[in-house]
Each structure stands twice: as C-alpha cells, then as structure tokens.
Amino acid sequence: MTQRFIEFVMMQAQQAALFLGRIPNPQTGKPEVNLEVARMFIDQLEMVREKTRGNLTGEESEILTRVLSDLQLSFVQAAGPGGEAAAPPAESDGRREPSPVPAASAPEHPPESAPETETRKKFTKSYGN
C-alpha cells in the first residue's frame, strides 16, 4: 500500500508540474502554464495530507511534504512577476490564508495530547498570495 500511495502522490504531482510548465505538454512538446488547474492538483494533494494526517508512514509523509513544498514553490515562481502567468484571484471565504510552510519546519504529526481543534486547521488555498 505504501508504494501505491507514493505512486498516487507522484502522479498528482506530475499533473501539477505539467500545468506549471515544468513538463512539456505531450501533444505539443512545449511547456504550457495553467495556474488554475495546477492549483487544483496542489490543493488536492494538500487535502490528502490533511485527511491522512497521523495515518501515514514516515516515508509517505516525507514524500508528500516534499512534493507539496516543491509544487507550492513552483506555483509561486510561475505566478510571480517573473513567472509566465498571473495567478487567478484567490477565492475569499472569510478565512485567513496562511503562507506555505517549508518542508523542514512542517510537523509530521500533530501532538497527541493537544485537542483536535488546535492541531488541525481547515484546508485553505495559499501559494504566496
């Protein structure tokens, strides 16, 4: 199951990389940027991380964290002033959107003694907005 989970994460990451212009489009052979679709794949991986928190092996958690950090950085670079496209406006739902956390400082598992409301945060979109 670990290998299948890692393959799933890598397939989602590959799709995000394709839409971030990091992988050439197989039909045209040219990199194409579609930040809206890239954001969707990144958000899906973030959702998987939140929903599986505490249920992943160390290897699964490490790979997922690294992949997300790499994709979020690529998104910021693609959406930034020197990037190839402007980021779509963020959806506003009244929640504060935290900035991405580097992989080195992201906790792998929440502390077991803390109440669930303190250790779990709601799924939000943010890639340098």
pLDDT at 114 over 80: no
Check if the beta carbon of residue 129 is closer than 8 Å to that of residue 97: yes
The Cα-based distances of 3 to 6, 45, 61, 63, 115 in angstroms read 5, 16, 12, 11, 32
pLDDT at 93 over 90: no
Beta carbons within 10 angstroms of residue 14's beta carbon: 13
The single-letter code of the amino acid at 37 is V
Q: How many residues does the chain have?
A: 129
29 is written with which tokens?
Answer: 């052979």
Among 16-30, 70-84, 107-121, the least confident range: 107-121
Where does the pLDDT of residue 100 fall: very low under 50, low under 70, confident under 90, or very high at 90 and above?
very low
Contacts of 54 (CB under 8 A, 6+ apart): 109, 110
CA distance between the termini of the chain: 35
Task: Tell me which residue of 36, 70, 54 sits closest to 114, measured CA to CA.
Answer: 54
Query: What pLDDT sits at residue 127?
Result: 64
Enumerate the H helices of the chain as residue ranges. 2-19, 35-51, 58-79, 116-119
pLDDT at 109 over 70: no
pLDDT tens for residues 33-91?
Answer: 999 999 999 999 999 999 999 999 999 999 999 999 999 999 999 988 766 554 444 44
